[in-house]
């Protein structure tokens, strides 16, 4: 079995949370894309749902599969969001934004009654921070924003390179919202809540990739089976 199979296994399990008539948030990234594929097949065979995508990429995928789409303007409250993550710890705290969609992902997740995170076991960590923390920032005043991030992060014991993400075209990556991403290689984060609070004080930071108190369930698939994290309790379907 490969990482791809585990992503699919997690996505399959997430499908068991979906009920007819639900309003869903659809995440972004390769794992979320597997869920969208599976959901598309269910819709084809009669499942009735309406969905808000968290990125233009997910919108295009879902539309191509015939999944009915809506917006948070038309449908401001959702039943369930299924999304991936770059890191997940045992308290269901996450780092997200590897795909650059963290702002819409957080807006959609917070508008949802329940949030289920799906991932392969490479994403499961003891402490957040090995994956560089993405921050969505406005293009204006980037240098000043970067300096303030470095200073406030240092006050929280976090030091490391804060780098502007560059796209495959060699130009600064532009999010669906017209912003940029700073990837912060702080290493292990002692106090994610404190860091998140500090980063929100930087005027140019639109949102941070720290998702704290947002996820309700984590479904993590790996070579030893599927681990389901729920609240602060952990169920091991198999010994991990
Ligand atoms: O936060 C995200 C996009 O902004 C993704 O959920 C995260 O990067 C995981 O992606 P993948 O499933 O491709 O590993």
Q: Does domain 133-206 have CATH number 2.40.37.10?
A: no
170 touches 112 (CB < 8 A): no
Q: Which atom of ligand 1 is nearest to the CA of 100?
A: 4
pTM (2 d.p.): 0.95
Active site residue 105: yes
Question: Atom 7 (ligand 1): residue with closest C-alpha?
Answer: 85
Distance (angstroms) between ligand 1 centre and the Cα of 99 equals 5
User: For the chain, which residues make up each domain, given as ranges?
Assistant: 3-125+212-234, 133-206
Q: Do domains 3-125+212-234 and 133-206 have the same CATH topology?
A: no
Along the 240 residues of the chain, how does pLDDT read in single tens digits?
899 999 999 999 999 999 999 999 999 999 999 999 999 999 999 999 999 999 999 999 999 999 999 999 999 999 999 999 999 999 999 999 999 999 999 999 999 999 999 999 999 999 999 999 999 999 999 999 999 999 999 999 999 999 999 999 999 999 999 999 999 999 999 999 999 999 999 999 999 999 999 999 999 999 999 999 997 444 444 433
Structure-block tokens of residue 152: 């406030």
When the candidates are 1.10.3210.10, 3.30.70.2740, 3.40.50.300, 3.40.50.1360, the CATH number that belongs to 3-125+212-234 is 3.40.50.1360
Question: Atom 8 (ligand 1): residue with closest C-alpha?
Answer: 98
Helix (H) or strand (E) run with residue 119 in it: strand 112-120
């Amino acid at each position: 079995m490969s990482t791809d199979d585990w992503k699919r296994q997690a996505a399959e399990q997430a499908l068991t949370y979906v009920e007819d008539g639900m309003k869903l948030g659809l995440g972004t990234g390769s794992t979320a894309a597997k869920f969208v594929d599976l959901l598309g097949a269910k819709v084809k065979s009669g499942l009735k749902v309406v969905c808000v995508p968290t990125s233009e990429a997910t919108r295009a995928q879902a539309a191509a599969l015939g999944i009915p789409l809506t917006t948070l303007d038309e449908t401001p409250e959702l039943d369930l969001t299924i999304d991936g993550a770059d890191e997940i710890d045992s308290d269901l705290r996450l780092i997200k934004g590897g795909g650059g969609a963290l702002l819409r992902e957080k807006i959609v997740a917070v508008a949802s009654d329940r949030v289920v995170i799906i991932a392969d076991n490479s994403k499961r960590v003891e402490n957040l921070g090995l994956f560089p923390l993405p921050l969505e920032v406005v293009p204006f005043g980037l240098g000043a924003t970067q300096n303030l991030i470095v200073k406030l992060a240092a006050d929280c014991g976090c030091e490391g390179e804060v780098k502007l993400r560059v796209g495959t075209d060699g130009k600064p990556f532009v999010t669906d919202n017209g912003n940029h991403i700073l990837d912060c290689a702080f290493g292990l984060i002692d106090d994610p809540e404190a860091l998140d609070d500090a980063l929100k004080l930087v005027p140019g930071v639109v949102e941070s990739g720290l998702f704290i108190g947002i996820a309700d369930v984590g479904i993590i698939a790996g070579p030893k089976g599927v681990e389901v994290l729920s609240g602060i309790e952990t169920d091991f379907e198999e010994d991990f």
